[in-house]
Amino acid sequence: MDRIGFIGLGTMGAPMAGHLLEAGYEVITSDHRSRPPAGLVAKGLGTVSRLDAVARAADVIILMVPDTPQVEEVLFAESGIAAGLSAGKLVIDMSSISPVATKAFASRIKALDCDYLDAPVSGGEIGAKAASLSIMVGGAEGAFERVRPILSVIGKNITLVGPSGAGQTAKIANQIVVALTIEAVAEALVFASKAGADPAKVRQALMGGLASSRILEVHGERMITRSFAPGFRIELHQKDLNLALEGARSLGVALPNTAMTQQLFNACTANGGQMEDHSALVRALERMAGQEVGADKVRSGGQAAKK
């Protein structure tokens, strides 16, 4: 059984590492920046003081950090992961970062006679805790098959999309769909609330029809109950849509609704909401409508109530 190095034990990484420990894997991390979660240590998480020591101790190294610069630093800093790699080891970057940078990182790791997979995930904190993440993988088929048992511990829908960078491209496409669907749900609930209807009842009705979706189920409820503690922060979704818009510009592709949704996220950030869950995008629409979604917030002045 491969020994696993895991860097990035935050909202997503901690439950993912926990599942690996529970499945019997030896998992090692570095405490060079912060102490690892006590709950993981109690489950048997090992710690070393430097990133290169993680790479020396592990057969497979997983990264789950916020953005492209952090991945580059973890991999290629003076005492980074690359400094501790030896032939035959495998790096899996499960962060959501630039596909262009991913191809460059993969090339540098492969030059060390190691394998590299980009394997970003979808499903948020809920999926990480439930081990039901969707995992989109880019890289060589042999490397993918080697780590499929590891990935199956933390995810359910695991797809080799194509060569290096293809996983990150798929994740950007995922984030476009998620962002635009959150925006659509938010518009619908703001409209219903402004019209005097109970948005909780409207959501319940929509869940039985063609408009039903996981986002309507989970994030629609968040909008109604005002539960915006972050499962996936607005600032991180902004980062992903920036990658989408930068990629679209280089490809000569128009993404008009992605650009509009990014402006709504920008409006949330301008009002201090960058650390809230991405479902809090509804706040930008609420400000424009002068109406807050919520079953207890429906105003008698709505159009339906006036009839």
Distance, in Å, from the CA atom of 173 to the CA atom of 255, rounded to the nearest integer, reads: 11
Token pair recorded at residue 46 = 């090992």
Using N-to-C axis directions, what is the helix angle for 141-154 and 13-22, rounded to 10°? 90
Mean pLDDT, rounded, of the chain: 94
So what's the pLDDT on residue 297? 54
Q: Is the pLDDT of residue 301 over 50?
A: no
Mean pLDDT in residue range 232-258: 96
- Residue 49's Cα: distance from chain center in Å? 27
Catalytic residue list contains 129: no
Question: What tens digit of pLDDT does each residue of 80-98 get?
Answer: 999 999 999 999 999 999 9
4-8, 13-17, 139-143, 227-231: which range is least confident on average? 227-231
CA-wise closest residue to 90 among 64, 119, 114: 114
C-alpha span between 296 and 149 (Å, rounded): 47
Tell me, what's the pLDDT at 304? 39
Amino acid identity of residue 34, one-letter, is S
The per-residue pLDDT for 307 is: 33
CB 85 within 8 A of CB 65: no
Number of Cα atoms under 13 Å in the Cβ half of residue 95: 29
How confident is residue 68, by pLDDT bands cut at 50, 70 and 90?
very high
Whole-angstrom distance, CA of residue 123 vs CA of residue 72:
24
Residue 306 has pLDDT above 90, yes or no: no
Per-residue model confidence as pLDDT tens digits over 167-218: 999 999 999 999 999 999 999 999 999 999 999 999 999 999 999 999 999 9
Burial class (CB in 10 A: 0-12, 13-18, 19+), 207: middle
Report pLDDT for 303. Answer: 43
Tens of pLDDT, residue by residue over 47-57, are 999 999 999 99
In whole angstroms, what is the distance from residue 300 CA to residue 66 CA? 44
For the cut 80, the answer to whether the pLDDT of residue 263 exceeds it is: yes
pLDDT at 10 over 70: yes
Give the pLDDT of residue 296: 59
Average pLDDT over residues 225-241: 94
pLDDT cut 90: percent of the chain above it: 91
> Is 30 a residue whose pLDDT tops 90?
yes
pLDDT at 1: 84
| Residue of 171, 194, 297, 307 marked catalytic | 171
Instruction: Tell whether the model's pLDDT for residue 302 goes beyond 50.
Output: no
Q: How confident is the model at residue 305 (pLDDT cuts 50, 70, 90)?
A: very low
At position 56, the amino acid (one-letter code) is: R
Global pTM reads 0.89
Which structure tokens are listed for 214?
């996981």
In angstroms, rounded to a whole number, what is the distance separating the alpha carbons of residues 182 and 196?
A: 21
> What are the tens digits of pLDDT across the range 16-26?
999 999 999 99
Alpha-carbon span 239 to 136, nearest angstrom: 18
